Amino acid sequence: MPFYLHIDMDSFYVSVERVLDPSLVGKPVMVGGAGRGVVTSASYEARQFGVRSAMPGFQARRLCPDGIFVPGRRGVYSEFSRKVFDLLRTFSPDVRAFSIDEGLVNLTGTERLMGHPIRTANEIIDRIREELGLPSSGGLATHPTLAKIAATAVKPRGLLYVPPGSEERFLGPLDVSVIPGVGPKTHRELVDRGIATVAQLLAHPRLGRRYLNLERPAEGGRAHEHSVGSETTLAQSLTDAAAMERVLGGLVGDVAARLRRQEGRARRVTVKIRYSDFKTITRSRTLKAPTCFDVDIFKIARELLTRNLAPGRPVRLLGISTSGITTEGWQDSIFDYRERESKDRLYKGIDTLRNKYGERAVTLGAGKNRSH
């Protein structure tokens, strides 16, 4: 019998902050939400005021004026995340990380060694709490999706076991919105068609298969097209194209360096422009030859920006993304080869400087009008 344990950390960023500063325990705490940002994690005390993650900061401050707002520290959370997954891997060689705070442990076949999976699941949650100080919830079931739904249903600090054979009994009465992939929009569409519960969805063979396919389990490594991007919401909206190009230069530098770090080269460059009225456009171009160099990416990005920018309209966000990433060897002509070699050397140097003196040490397109 297959057994999957889905582990979901409870308000992960807040919990990490509490480990590092125990005075935050028991209080309404929110990570993020400064300026134009959104709350990335809210403690359950803060949620009682109606605060949710992904809520704009101004709204959270209005709902919970006496709450404690903590700036996020990505690197610290990643480090804790790594420790959680290291611990999970001591229980099973088959552990999949879905995100920084969610993972799946395949407990199939561990019974003889460790006892019933329900015991193992309890032990895992206990040890995450004892050894790392972090609360988490778990869902144990015969299918990964079911395990995830179960974990979400018992949050926080719970463990829910869906015994084999009781799957439909468990799922049936639940709202369709518990299904991963059914967001606000799909939820509304389903409800409009008279489908509110999972049972009603499953009674509809085509829709049931589309949104909740439990027959086809645990897909392996899928051939997703991966992408590397960076975007930023400006502290103040901009109308000046030159200033926007400077921002874009910084984003390109970040993206290209990450691309090189993973030894990838991208074939498509996409620029994202969000105006102050939130209207958002993306413009992309596919290259003849993939690249990982700042100059190449910046050239395309600048063109896409200047060609598509509505003059005078304030811009609140700029983004760049690269996709169609390949890690295969270079395939260029003997002529391109020399140029590429010299760029390679140049960027090795730039990356070294950045590692040594920080990301801002070398910034493309930022030479003029620096304020310091």
Partner DNA sequence: TCTGGGGTCCTAGGACCC
Which residues are marked as active site? 102
**Contacts to DNA from residues 276-315, by CB under 7 A:** 277-278, 280-286
CB nearer to DNA: give 110 or 148.
148
| Dist. CA 231–CA 248, nearest whole Å | 9
Query: Which two structure tokens, joined as six digits, stand for 219?
Result: 């897909």
CB nearer to DNA: give 116 or 197.
197
Q: How far is the CB of 258 from DNA (least distance, A)?
A: 6
CB nearer to DNA: give 110 or 212.
212
Q: Which stretch binds DNA (CB under 7 A): 20-28, 177-185, 196-204, 346-354?
A: 177-185
CB nearer to DNA: give 40 or 110.
40
Q: Which helix (H) or strand (E) holds 231?
A: strand 228-238
Q: How far is the CB of 249 from DNA (least distance, A)?
A: 15
CA distances from 49 to 16, 30, 89 (A): 21, 12, 37
- How many helices (DSSP H) and strands (DSSP E) are in the chain? 14, 12
Binding map of DNA across residues 226-245, x = CB under 7 A, - = no contact: xxxxxxxx-xx---------
Cis omega (within 30 of 0) for bond into 314: no
Phi and psi at residue 221, to the nearest 5°: -65, 110
225 binds DNA (CB under 7 A): yes
CB nearer to DNA: give 32 or 138.
32
327 binds DNA (CB under 7 A): no
Taking CB under 7 A as the criterion, the residue among 66, 75, 185, 215 binding DNA is 185
224 binds DNA (CB under 7 A): yes
102 binds DNA (CB under 7 A): yes
Q: How far is the CB of 333 from DNA (least distance, A)?
A: 19
Taking CB under 7 A as the criterion, the residue among 116, 258, 299, 343 binding DNA is 258
CA distances from 26 to 40, 101, 122, 128 (A): 18, 21, 24, 19
Contacts of 136 (CB under 8 A, 6+ apart): 7, 8, 9, 10, 84, 125, 128, 129, 157
156 binds DNA (CB under 7 A): no
| Dist. CA 250–CA 252, nearest whole Å | 5
**Contacts to DNA from residues 193-212, by CB under 7 A:** none
Taking CB under 7 A as the criterion, the residue among 246, 265, 316, 354 binding DNA is 316
Contacts of 323 (CB under 8 A, 6+ apart): 225, 226, 227, 228, 229, 266, 267, 268, 270
98 binds DNA (CB under 7 A): yes
| Dist. CA 230–CA 250, nearest whole Å | 10
| Dist. CA 145–CA 174, nearest whole Å | 14
Q: Which stretch binds DNA (CB under 7 A): 53-61, 197-205, 334-342, 352-360?
A: 53-61
| Dist. CA 30–CA 69, nearest whole Å | 5
Looking up tokens 């090795």, which residue turns up?
348
**Contacts to DNA from residues 59-88, by CB under 7 A:** none
Cβ atoms within 10 Å of 281's Cβ, excluding its own: 12
**Binding residues for DNA, total number by CB under 7 A:** 58
CB nearer to DNA: give 213 or 352.
213
- Sign of the dihedral through C-alpha 170, 176, 182, 184: negative
Taking CB under 7 A as the criterion, the residue among 38, 159, 244, 350 binding DNA is 38
Asked if 153 and 139 count as a contact pair (C-beta separation under 8 A), the reply is yes
Q: How far is the CB of 238 from DNA (least distance, A)?
A: 13
Taking CB under 7 A as the criterion, the residue among 23, 35, 66, 368 binding DNA is 35
Site residues (vs DNA, CB under 7 A): 32, 35-38, 40, 53-54, 56-58, 98-102, 152, 179-187, 222, 224-233, 235-236, 254, 258, 268, 270, 277-278, 280-286, 316-317, 319, 321, 323-324
